[in-house]
Chain A
Amino acid sequence: MPTCTVRKGFFLLRECNQLTTHLCARCGRPACDEHTAQQDDGLVCTECAAKTGSTESSTGSALGGRRGWAHRYRTDYYSRSHYTPIYTGTAAGAATGAATADGFDEFDRRSFDQEVSEPLEADDDGPGTLLDS
Chain B
Amino acid sequence: MSLIALWRTHRLLTPTQRRVLSERRLSGSYTAEQWLGLLERIAELDRQADAARKRCGLLAIIGIIAVFLGLMFLVPLLSGMGAPAWLVGILALLLVGLPIVCGALYFTLRGRDLPNNLRELIYPLLCVLREDVAPNTPLELEADLRGGMVKDKRTDEQNLSRGRLRYPKILETHYLDPWLSGAAALADGSTLRWKVADRIRVRRITKRTARGKVKTKYKHKSKRLLEVSLGLRHKSYQIKTEPATDQQVQVRPGERRDALRLTKLMTLSGSMMGRRRDLDWTLPLDPLLELVSTAYGRAVRSPSTQGA
Contacts and interface: CB of A to CB of B under 8 A. Distances in A.
A7 to B, nearest CB: 10
Interface in B287-304: 289-290, 292-293, 296-297, 299, 301
Contact of B127 (A12, A58, A91): A58
A121 B40 CA distance: 60
Interface string B275-294: 00000000001100110110
Interface of B is mostly: helix
Contacts, number: 75
B264 interface: no
B297 A90 contact: no
Interface stretch (B20-28, B92-100, B106-114, B128-136): B128-136
Given A11-B293, A12-B132, A58 B299 contact: no
A10 B188 CA distance: 12
Interface in A67-88: 67, 69-70, 73-74, 77, 80-81, 83-84, 86, 88
Contact of A77 (B40, B286, B297, B301): B286
B67 interface: no
Contact of B119 (A59, A80, A86): A59
26 contacts: A9-B132, A10-B128, A10-B129, A11-B292, A12-B132, A58-B123, A58-B124, A59-B47, A59-B119, A66-B36, A66-B127, A67-B131, A69-B124, A69-B127, A73-B124, A73-B127, A73-B128, A74-B128, A80-B286, A81-B290, A83-B296, A83-B297, A86-B299, A86-B301, A91-B307, A94-B307
Interface of B: 36, 40, 43-44, 47, 119, 123-124, 127-132, 186-188, 285-286, 289-290, 292-293, 296-297, 299, 301, 305, 307-308
